[in-house]
Amino acid sequence: MKESGEMYLENLLILSKEKGEVRAVDIAENMGYSKPSISRALKILREEGYVDVDKNGFITFKEKGKVLAEKIYERHQVLSKLFIKIGVDEETAIADACKIEHDISDKTFNIIKKFID
């Protein structure tokens, strides 16, 4: 899965926690992308078995999509917390966590998670 796909899944997770039901327009507004860009991404995510879109345009996770979205979201939260804890301002910490969350190994992430807790 490419980083961009992970970002769409993470945003879908966040929006679904906030709103319950999510449509492509919600993701477009949240991410600042055009509706056609979101539609292309959702097509790929559907084809790869990460999400479903019903006849009314509501997007739901398939099991593997939800698992991946929760993994990325947890990484974002933990890394942001670490960076803030060591003195990075919140805005920079969040932006940097967003960049790193997609590339960090499970091994390193689990050690950071233990360290934070």
CATH number of the CATH domain containing 107: 1.10.60.10
Say how many residues make up the chain. Answer: 117
Asked whether the predicted pLDDT for residue 25 surpasses 80, the reply is yes
DSSP H helical ranges for 1-117: 3-19, 24-31, 35-47, 63-85, 90-100, 106-116
Across 60-82, average pLDDT: 95
Q: Which DSSP letter does residue 48 get?
A: T
* Residue 61 shares a structural domain with residue 7: yes
What's the confidence (pLDDT) of residue 109? 95
Q: Which pTM was predicted?
A: 0.86
Residue 1: band (very low, low, confident or very high) from pLDDT cuts 50, 70, 90? low
* Residue 76 shares a structural domain with residue 45: no
Q: Which DSSP letter does residue 88 get?
A: -
Q: How far apart are CA 102 and CA 100, in angstroms?
A: 5
* Residue 94 shares a structural domain with residue 46: no
Asked whether the predicted pLDDT for residue 3 surpasses 80, the reply is no
Segments forming the whole domain that contains residue 107: 72-116
The structure tokens listed for 66 are: 């939800």
* Residue 55 shares a structural domain with residue 13: yes
- Give how many domains the chain has, as a whole number: 2
What's the confidence (pLDDT) of residue 108? 95
Across 7-18, average pLDDT: 94
* Residue 53 shares a structural domain with residue 103: no
* Residue 28 shares a structural domain with residue 12: yes
